[in-house]
């Protein structure tokens, strides 16, 4: 099975089988049957892509209520540190974080269930980040948690002086203050 447990329920790391030769490589980045066998039945409705420079940190973002989103995230070019925080209040891992390096070379993907905050920082000179979501975006339902929350103490694997954040992300609330 190409999925690895992460220690947080339903948060799975996908490592596809890659076939390569002198011409290049081929792999299935998504196969509904393979994902369903792993318990992932999300019906993706939208694909999103972002290009960013080194140090750009996007997150930690989430959608609430009827607009909560599951995501399947990966990197098409470059390398990022991908970080999620479990916000599921009834979860035994509530408030726990998980981080993993996703890159064009390792081809890993992370399945992020509904109920998680998600963010990433670009570690390479540039990166193209791609993700699928299983629900539509709603401005009224968006929420976020500060990247530098002392309770989470996330190691972003990059010097703080290199971080580039949006004004919105700089003023997100801490974990104990976030909107549910």
Model pTM score: 0.94
Domain that holds residue 32: 3-177
CATH number, position 148: 2.60.120.10
Per-residue pLDDT reduced to its tens digit, 102-133 = 999 999 999 999 999 999 999 999 999 999 99
Whether 61 is a known active-site residue: answer: yes
pLDDT one-digit tens code per residue, 126-180: 999 999 999 999 999 999 999 999 999 999 999 999 999 999 999 999 998 876 6
Q: Given this model, what pLDDT does residue 176 score?
A: 86
Q: Which residues contact 172 (CB under 8 A, 6 or more apart)?
A: 60, 144, 145, 146, 147, 178
Q: Which of 61, 98, 118, 137 is catalytic?
A: 61
Our separate counts of H helices and E strands in the chain read 2, 13
Question: How many domains is the chain built from?
Answer: 1
Q: Give percent above pLDDT 90 in the chain.
A: 96
Catalytic option among 120, 131, 147, 178: 131
Question: What is the overall mean pLDDT for the chain?
Answer: 96
Cα–chain center distance at 90: 21
> Mean of the pLDDT values across residues 65-69?
97
Q: How far apart are CA 170 and CA 180, in angstroms?
A: 19
pLDDT tens for 46-63 read 999 999 999 999 999 999
């Amino acid at each position: 099975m190409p999925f690895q447990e992460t220690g947080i329920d339903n948060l799975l790391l996908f490592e596809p089988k890659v076939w390569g030769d002198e011409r290049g490589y081929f792999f299935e980045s998504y196969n509904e049957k393979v994902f369903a066998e792993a318990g992932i039945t999300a019906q993706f409705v939208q694909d999103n892509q972002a290009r960013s420079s080194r140090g750009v940190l996007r997150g930690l973002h989430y959608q609430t209520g009827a607009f909560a989103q599951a995501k399947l995230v990966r990197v098409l070019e470059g390398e990022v540190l991908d970080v999620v925080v479990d916000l599921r209040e009834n979860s035994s891992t509530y408030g726990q974080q998980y981080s993993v390096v996703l890159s064009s070379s390792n081809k890993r993907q992370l399945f992020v269930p509904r109920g998680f905050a998600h963010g990433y920082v670009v570690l390479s000179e540039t990166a193209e980040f791609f993700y699928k979501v299983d629900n539509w975006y709603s401005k009224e339902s968006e929420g976020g948690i500060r990247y530098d929350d002392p309770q989470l103490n996330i190691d972003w694997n990059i010097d703080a002086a290199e971080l580039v954040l949006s004004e919105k992300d700089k003023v997100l609330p801490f974990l104990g203050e976030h909107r549910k």
